Structure 1
Amino acid sequence: EEGQAFAGLVQAMYDTNAVAIVRRCFSERSSPELGFLRPHIAHDHICMYYVKLPFGEDVREFNFDNLDAIKRNQPSDEQLKTIDHLITTMDLTHADRGGEEAFRPDLVFNPYIQRMFQSIARRAVTPEEPLSLSNTIMEMNDTLVQSVASKSKRTLDTLHEQFTLRDTERRQKMMTGEKLFGNIDNSTKKMRLEENDNVEELTTDSTSFEAQLAAKKKAAIRTIGTITPIEDFKTLIEQGSSSFTEVCQQMSTVILEFINNSRGDALFDKALQCIQCLRDMCIQKLEPKIFNDLEILIKKQAGNIDGRKDFWKKVVDEKISLITSDECIESNVISIEAQKFLEENTSTEVVNNALITNEDDGDEEDLFDLI
């Protein structure tokens, strides 16, 4: 029944000129491969031939330039004649000893399979003797190959003389820094580097690669980010490209983002570190009003926005008060007012008094606009 079913399938595929796409596994441990079965009907048997299908990644297309487009690539008559003679000397049609075709595909043995089965047979007949490396068939083929090669040797030598190979690699000339940039002293180099975004001079003699990379990162900083705000804040102040007030306003904006966008108290510690850094820098630069305005704004938000009272409690616990006149001569806040300001139940009047005390006549942007 199975044979009849198989014969019917082959006959149906043959009549409809169809093939079967199949997946073949040689063994349980081998990877599957895709192929197709082609029906075949003969006078004494019926069968299917399996053909492995190639994948798109198995096909490689190489596009070469037209050699005729360049005159120097066109072969001469002597070169063409030498190539024709090489093909004639390597022709295998009558290269065999009997004048017949040599290395016919249907008569040439696979050397790997031939060697394996020959070794198995010799081991079965003479198990104690060592395997011999001699192979009569391979020796005959090797003799034939040497005969063809000897006939073509003179032509190959002529071919090597007519088709010369040249190295066309373009090598870049090595140039020193002095030849490339000219003879410039260190003072001129430093002045040019300072003009270019205030980047410090980087020399391989005194500065390591890590220091150069860090200096390049500092030079690329233009605004304060939320990843390393303290480092960015100090770097912008060192660069001096923006005014101290503008840099402090950026820092204040980042602090307010930490407070307002924090899930629970996840960003409170980072905000406290930024506040402390801003406070120290305002004292150092004699700009107490910038920090005091920010802290007043934070306390006012703590009374109006739900969930920000926890942050203000942390500020009180850390005793981060307003900048007083004892810490900075430019401040109009005395120590008693700063202590009362940190009290959790301080009335709004005290906050307003602090605002009036810290009021300035300048045109600086009010931090209350950041709410």
Structure 2
Amino acid sequence: MASKEATVYIVDLGPSTGETSHGRSKTNLDWSLEYIWDRITATVATGRKTAMAGVLGLRTSGTKNILDSDDDYAHITVFREIGQVLMPDVRRLRDDLVVSKGNMEGGDAISAIVVAIQMIVNECKKLKYERKIVLVTDVRGPMQADGLGDIVAKLKEDSIQLVVLGVDFDDAEYGFKEESKDPTKAENEAVLKQLCEDCEGTFGTLVQAVDELGTPRVKSVKPVPNYRGLLTLGDPTQYDTALSIDVERYPKTMIAAAPSASKFVVRQGDMGASQATIVKDGEGVPSADGLTAVKNAMTYQIEDPEAPGGKQDVDRDELSKGYEYGRTAVHISESDRNVTMYETTPGFDIIGFVDKNQYERYLDCNRGSIIIAQRSNDKACMALSSFIQSLYELESYAVARIVPKENREPRIVLLAPNIEPEFECLYDIELPFTEDMRSYKFPPLDKVITVSGKELSVHRNLPSDELLDAMSDYVDNMDLSTFSKDDKGHDTECMPMDETYSPMLHRLHQVIKHRAVFPDSEPPPPYEILTRFSHPPAELVEKAQPAIECLKEAANVKKVPPKARGKRYGSGKKDAPKPLSDLDVGALLAQDPKLKRSGQKIDPRNAIPEFRQRIADAASEGTDFDETIGDACKQMHKVILDKIRHSVGSANYEEVVECLRVLREEVNEFEDLSLYHDFLRELKVKLLETEELGEGRQELWYKVRVNRLGLIVSEGVPGSVSEEEARKFLLVGR
């Protein structure tokens, strides 16, 4: 169970926070709120009712707090009492946390801390809470340092952690110092720093806090054991020499899943947005926008000839469960259901041992767990320590069968010893069963076996010694394990595991947090820490450049030319065949307006040359390209249909086939396949179904099939079809 939390955020809203400092584009308040919004939205994201927060305004225009009857607490406003923070609260706080107008002499930071202490005391009383006060201020306002001893005593008495983050505070450890600091600010800064030292709180500069927002925080989870019982070697009920140790098993690693999206609809009715609720994880959660979760409703039907529509609705309780076996549903009644259940009892039994050097790491499955002795059991601690030491000295692992709870399926796990100063434990990882293993055979990488069984060590598919040496040098030059330098100048790893984070998970959290506060603005760019390992360091790439050049030369790497595209894109335009006379026929035709093909009908007696000429003219001129190509194709369609209609027997079939081939090639080159596909589908219907082009024309469709003039299959081209669809289209009667 997660611990209870109560945090009060004190935000300085004085007129001085509306200024910009040190070249920042944002005001000091907006810059401070980056930290506040990050912490508040992180609390909202947990959805826990025990994670409570309150917000207090410092140096505000008005006054509203539990001690407002005293003038010392003027210009301090409680914007939100301590409680669970929801999305409507975030939207309201966004409107409340703005720079105050006018000059006020009140709004003491020390008095605001006193108000925050009183808020926590009233809410938490003497109950067990993690209590915290976070003060964000530029300390440019007046501040009274009287009675700090009593405040320190109260903070310690109630175990309240005080965190003070100042705008441009000096921090020697972080390496930040503000030059030409205002004397009043320097004095107030010193007072707050001493206060934090006295109450063992945290004092820092806001520069560091904002810079560290991009670093994902490790989530601490209270460990919950998934097994408590005996770890046995042998059967203790039958043999006195059997090993039996009381142990506890906890998860060691867990997969951090990204938050999943949900479906919502606008809530209908008179209920307002603040009263609307959504359902998440079985609990009702107020919705900020008057939305409600989409709920699924399922109905069951059986075939009934007498019912309307031939189906009858039935309740789920009236149905029986069936298991699919092939295409048949096998029914198993509730009384026989115990046959399908493998009855087990909780247990943790060691079934064997394996040498550490013989275990293959690829056998690891699922997540790891940690096994320790039963708490406050000295006998179990001594026994487990002896077992761990034995495995460590013998360089062995143990194999065990575990059933965490009754009637759970058994698992086989590997137990590995772990010894650290003042701490010993066993790590376990799940192992696969025989049914989980898949064995595949691949040809060897160091030799080629011919059909006759001869082994070749020199072949074009095998790397040469020169290539192997070049690859080895390149790998050594791209080594990340010793590329970076630590604080002392020693070589260290460039990409340590504890500094490598999941970009997808944390980027999604970043965007959700931002949109929760600013729903209408664009998401910010991803944090640098999430993207810095997406590319190798530039210095390392430059260092390895000579090695990669040698590798390219040894491997005879050549650049693959780009795939030629159609004339429409200008890169794959075919060159017209050059005549032996070196005359530009196209230019000669263009000089005589009478011989231009544009705007004229295609002559059926010279259809193919004129069609190609119309296409070439359209590609060269570039004006009304689509319109010209479409018109030329339509004319070609008409020519083909007329030739079929007026053909005596099969006299014109060869000419029709050639026209179809030319049309197909030109259309495929321009990557507008609809001009051919639509016509071919129309042609098939007129030839085989309606017989509009004459009776007995099935032989022409046979020639279309033989010459492979069906639908075009071309990857990456819009309108292309799959090979299966093209094959079925050519079949008669489909």
| TM-score scaled by length of structure 1 | 0.35
- Greater share of helix: 1
- Rg bigger for which structure? 1
| TM-score scaled by length of structure 2 | 0.18
